[in-house]
Copies of this chain bind each other. A is one copy, B any other.
Amino acid sequence: MNRLQTSLGTLTMQNPVTVASGTYGAEFGAFYDLNCLGAYVTKTITRYPKQGNPPPRLYETEAGLLNSIGLQNPGLDIFLSNTLPELSAVCSAPIIVSFSGSTIDEFAEMLDIMEQEPRISGYEVNISCPNVEKEGIAFGVDPDTVHSLTSRLAALTSKELIIKLSPNVTDVVSIARAAATGGATSIALINTLLGMAIDWKTGKSRIKRGVSGYSGLAIKPVALAATYKVASALRIPVLAMGGIYDWKDALEFFYAGASAVAIGTANFANPHAVPELIAGLDSYLQERDVSLSDIIGTVQF
C-alpha cells in the first residue's frame, strides 16, 4: 500500500508533493532524483518570449520573499522544442505545464498546441501572477471571466486542468466555484500576495517595479485559510501552496483539505526541501499507521 498516494482530479500522484511554478527547474536534479516528485510543475510560459521585469527583482523581508520576475520565459515554441524534451529526459513524474495568456483566445491557442504533446500530463492555468500588467491577473479576479476561460479550455482537453488562483481577491471561493463549474479538474492556490518593501535609509523601493509578489513563511496562514475555505465549500481538489517548508507545514494543509501541496520559496532556502518533505510525511504516516486520505479535510475546531 502506498500511504502517500493522492489524486488531483484526473491525475493520480504517487505522492502529494509537487513544486510551485517559477521556483523550480531541472537544476534540482543536481541534488536529488527528480522522479521522487508527485508531479513536476513548470515555470509559467507564455505564447511568445517575455523579457521580464527590470531588476532588482528580489528582496527577502523579515518574514518572506518579494519577487518581481514578470514571467520571464522563452515562449511556448522554445519551451516545446528545448525545455520539455530536456525535462522529459530526466523526469518521468507527471509534467504539468503552467501557462498564461493575454486573451482567452491566446490561452486556448496555447492549450491547443500543447495537446499534441504526450509528455504533458496536465495544465496549470496561471491567472494570478501579480507581476505583469496585462497578462493573466485580470482574468483571475472576476468569476465570469474565470468561468468563460475555464469552459473554453476544458472543452479542449481531457488532461488535468488546474486553475491557479490569486489570494488578492475579495472572495476566493466564488472564483474557485466559477472555475469548477467551468470544468477545471482542480484548483491551485495561492499565488503570491501583493507586497512591497522600502529601504528606510534611502527611501528606495527594494523592488524596481514597486509592488511585487510576496511568498514564503509569512503567507502560510493566508494560504491555509484560502485552502480551507475552498476545500470546505467545494468538492474540487485543491493543490495548496504558500509558505510550505516541511512535512509539518504540509500536514496543516492536508488537514485543511488540500489533496496535494507544492513547495515554492522553500526550495531556495533548502534545496532538499522536496525529498525531505516526502520522507518526513511518509514516516509520520507510517508511525501513526494512517494514510494521507485519512487526514485530508479532517480539521477539527
Which of A's residues lie within 8 Å of B, judged by CB? 61-64, 66, 141, 168-171, 193-198, 200, 202-205, 208-211, 214, 217-222, 224-226, 228-229, 248-249, 251-252, 255-256, 295, 298-301
Q: Which residues of the other chain, B, contact A300 by a CB distance below 8 angstroms?
A: 202-205
Residue numbers in B under 8 Å from A200 (CB-CB): 248-249, 251-252, 255
* Between-chain CB contacts (< 8 Å), 28 pairs: A61-B220, A62-B63, A64-B221, A66-B221, A168-B170, A193-B221, A195-B224, A196-B221, A196-B228, A197-B252, A198-B255, A198-B256, A198-B299, A200-B248, A200-B252, A202-B300, A203-B255, A203-B299, A204-B299, A204-B300, A204-B301, A205-B299, A208-B301, A210-B228, A211-B228, A211-B229, A217-B218, A218-B221
> Could you tell me the distance between the alpha carbons of A170 and B64 in the complex, rounded to whole angstroms?
21
Q: Determine which of B208, B210, B217, B295 lies in contact with A63 in the assembled complex, contact meaning CB atoms within 8 Å.
A: B217
Please list the 5 inter-chain residue pairs (A to B) with the smallest Cβ-Cβ separation, ordered nearest first: A195-B221, A218-B218, A63-B63, A196-B225, A200-B251
What is the oligomeric copy number?
2
Contact at B225–A195, with CB atoms within 8 Å? Answer: yes
Q: A245's closest neighbor in chain B, by CB?
A: B62
Q: Could you tell me the distance between the alpha carbons of A259 and B35 in the complex, rounded to whole angstroms? A: 53
CA distance A111 to B134 in the complex (A): 43
Nearest CB on B from A174, distance (A): 11
Q: A209-B301, A300-B203 given as contacts; is B252 within 8 A of A224 (CB)?
A: no
**Contact at B141–A170, with CB atoms within 8 Å?**
yes
Give, as a whole number of angstroms, the nearest-CB distance from A181 to chain B: 20
Q: Name the one of B202, B221, B229, B256 contacting A61, with C-beta atoms under 8 angstroms.
A: B221
Among B194, B211, B226, B301, point to the contact of A210 (Cβ < 8 A): B301
Q: How far is the CB of A65 from chain B (nearest CB, A)?
A: 10
Q: State how many angstroms separate the Cβ of A216 from the closest Cβ of chain B.
A: 9
Residue of B nearest to A211 (CB): B225
Determine the chain B residues whose CB is within 8 A of the CB of A171 once the complex forms.
141
